[in-house]
């Protein structure tokens, strides 16, 4: 039924009639949710909508195979669900993130969109329920197992297809600089004070390792994200679903995504707790912290260009100041810093929400899903941009680094085995007081000959595990 002006149609649910926009595929329950939750203006991301389509398609395939859904009804559902998977109906998912904690509104949103679109494909009239959102699209399912299943599908796809490639790009760029800067000897720094020499390539090797370990940490969560709640229905018992449904549906989801999914070890755990989401987001938080550390370090090393550390030259990504001509700022690195802070905030929401499952159902599902996917997207995008537009374009100020090393008081550390700690301290203090190098004082005061100084005070040699000047 449509109004005279064609602006809306009448849809029905168990509470009665609702006016729904005439051109919408969603139905009464979705419309009620739009009215009930005008909270944030935030709606689910593409990955989650895609996951809902995947779950509904997999469920329909399983029910068809089990003889629980007639082929003439199943085929339109499969076609409509595929359209949702492909992103053809993203504008049909208007429900706010801050909704019922089970995500029922979003599950019904998917059921209604797929049912109405399938009815249209079937040759019926939208809203007629010839293909029913509950009886057909949601058959053998509950919001309580659909939404956590979609959470895991979306999260694992985000990890595998977004986060991992982004981090691998960053790791590769860091590895390239590790090799390129291997011969650049520079001043090490501890407590932000001069320390014994290092090679710039060694520092970048540390950064590369951080990101590679981050990839391992994120990857280690995939097995538990691969567990699916589908088949537990309302409370975890599996009431109203076929005993073979969970296994078949999981196999169908694996086939659709190309990733490994399986039925949850325990459906009560899968629906009442979301430890896997918390664990996986913790890995995202850790790698965001690694990226933040690297970005901060590179900002410091590139500080200047004349009155900072100035050991590396940053790319000129954009003009840095609206008032200071010629100024270039580390804008990409600063973007990474900000991503880290957002991910930290998201982690608080995810960890707190995951810890509040009450009896047989966790009621923080939508906010868990949204924040996880936001963090995954931020990390994936910023890692790729950071690698390609900042790290990959860095240059080393090799001559400047070497000059500063030669003037470093920390070179006196290498004197310890040769002349002892106390004498080395005297050399360092005298060099600092008189504005001389450690080498000049050590030779001038007779602690070392020129030949001995060449061996003991070789900055390049100090970057290896060695005791310089020790008797062989």
Please tell me the predicted confidence (pLDDT) of residue 468. Answer: 77
Please tell me the predicted confidence (pLDDT) of residue 1. Answer: 45
Taking residues 222-242, what's their average pLDDT?
97
Query: Is the CB of residue 329 less than 8 Å from the CB of residue 240?
Result: no
Strands (E), 127-240: 185-190, 193-199, 227-228
Taking residues 207-235, what's their average pLDDT?
98
pLDDT band at 326; cut points 50, 70, 90: confident
* 412 pLDDT higher than 90: no
* 393 pLDDT higher than 50: yes
Q: Measured on CA atoms in the order 32, 37, 42, 47, is the torsion positive or negative?
A: negative
Q: Which CATH number fits the domain 407-463, given the four candidates 3.40.50.2000, 3.40.640.10, 1.10.40.30, 3.30.365.10?
A: 1.10.40.30
* 84 pLDDT higher than 70: yes
Rounded Cα gap, residues 69 and 60, in angstroms: 7
User: Which CATH architecture is the domain 145-397 placed in?
Assistant: Up-down Bundle (1.20)
* 304 pLDDT higher than 70: yes
237 or 409, which is more confident?
A: 237
pLDDT band at 467; cut points 50, 70, 90: confident
Q: Is 152 a catalytic residue?
A: no
Which of these ranges, 199-213, 273-287, 372-386, 400-414, has the smallest mean pLDDT?
400-414
Rounded Cα gap, residues 364 and 370, in angstroms: 10
Rounded Cα gap, residues 417 and 424, in angstroms: 9
Please tell me the predicted confidence (pLDDT) of residue 316. Answer: 84
Among 132, 303, 321, 351, the active-site one is 321
Q: Which CATH number fits the domain 8-139, given the four candidates 3.30.1330.60, 3.40.47.10, 3.30.450.20, 1.10.275.10?
A: 1.10.275.10
Q: Would you list the domain boundaries of the chain?
A: 8-139, 145-397, 407-463
Please tell me the predicted confidence (pLDDT) of residue 471. Answer: 57
Among 191, 290, 340, 375, the active-site one is 191
Give 362's contacts (C-beta < 8 A, 6+ positions apart).
101, 148, 271, 272, 273, 274, 353, 354, 356, 368
* 324 pLDDT higher than 80: no
Q: Is the pTM of this model over 0.85?
A: yes
Task: Name the residue among 460, 330, 324, 302 with its Cα closest to residue 396.
Answer: 302
pLDDT band at 470; cut points 50, 70, 90: low
* 360 pLDDT higher than 80: yes
Q: Is 335 a catalytic residue?
A: no
Query: Dihedrals φ, ψ of 74, to 5°?
Result: -65, -45
pLDDT, tens digit, 9 for 90 and up, residues 48-76: 999 999 999 999 999 999 999 999 999 99
Query: Dihedrals φ, ψ of 407, to 5°?
Result: -95, 0
Please tell me the predicted confidence (pLDDT) of residue 405. Answer: 92
């Amino acid at each position: 039924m449509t109004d005279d002006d064609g602006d809306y149609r009448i849809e029905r649910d168990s509470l009665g009639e609702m006016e729904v926009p005439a051109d919408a595929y969603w139905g009464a329950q979705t419309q009620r949710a739009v009215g009930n939750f005008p909270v944030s203006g935030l709606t689910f991301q593409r990955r989650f909508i895609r996951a809902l389509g995947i779950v509904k398609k997999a469920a329909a395939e399983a029910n068809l195979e089990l003889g629980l859904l007639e082929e003439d009804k199943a085929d339109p559902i499969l076609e409509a669900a595929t359209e949702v998977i492909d992103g053809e109906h993203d504008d049909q998912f208007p429900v706010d993130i801050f909704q019922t904690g089970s995500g029922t509104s979003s599950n019904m949103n998917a059921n209604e969109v797929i049912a109405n679109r399938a009815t249209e494909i079937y040759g019926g009239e939208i809203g007629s329920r010839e293909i029913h959102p509950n009886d057909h699209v949601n058959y053998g399912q509950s919001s309580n197992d659909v939404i956590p299943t979609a959470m895991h599908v979306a999260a694992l796809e985000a990890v595998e297809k977004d986060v991992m490639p982004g981090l691998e790009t960053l790791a590769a760029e860091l590895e390239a600089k590790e090799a390129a800067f291997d011969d650049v000897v520079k001043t090490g720094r501890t407590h932000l004070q001069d320390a014994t020499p290092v090679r710039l390539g060694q520092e970048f090797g540390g950064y590369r390792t951080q990101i590679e370990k981050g990839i391992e940490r994120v990857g280690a969560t995939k097995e538990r994200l691969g567990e699916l709640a589908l088949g537990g229905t309302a409370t975890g018992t599996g009431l109203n679903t076929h005993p073979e449904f969970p296994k078949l549906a999981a196999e169908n989801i694996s086939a659709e995504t190309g990733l490994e999914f399986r039925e949850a070890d325990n459906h009560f755990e899968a629906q009442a707790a979301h430890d896997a989401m918390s664990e996986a987001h913790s890995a995202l938080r850790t790698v965001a912290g690694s990226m933040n550390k690297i970005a901060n370090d590179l900002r410091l090393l590139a500080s200047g260009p004349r009155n900072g550390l100035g050991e590396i030259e940053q790319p000129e990504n954009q003009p840095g100041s609206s008032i200071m001509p010629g100024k270039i700022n580390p804008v990409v690195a600063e973007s990474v810093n900000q991503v880290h802070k957002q991910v930290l905030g998201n982690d608080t929401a995810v960890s707190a929400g995951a810890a509040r499952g009450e009896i047989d159902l966790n009621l923080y599902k939508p906010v868990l899903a949204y924040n996880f996917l936001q963090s995954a997207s931020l990390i994936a995008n910023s890692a790729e941009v950071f690698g390609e537009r900042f790290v990959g374009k860095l240059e080393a100020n090799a001559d400047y680094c070497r000059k500063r090393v030669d003037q470093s008081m920390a070179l006196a550390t290498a004197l310890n085995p040769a002349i002892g700690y106390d004498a080395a301290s005297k050399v360092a203090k005298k060099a600092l007081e008189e504005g001389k190098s450690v080498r000049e004082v050590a030779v001038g005061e007779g602690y070392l000959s020129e030949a001995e100084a060449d061996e003991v005070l070789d900055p390049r040699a100090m970057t290896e595990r060695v005791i310089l000047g020790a008797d062989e």
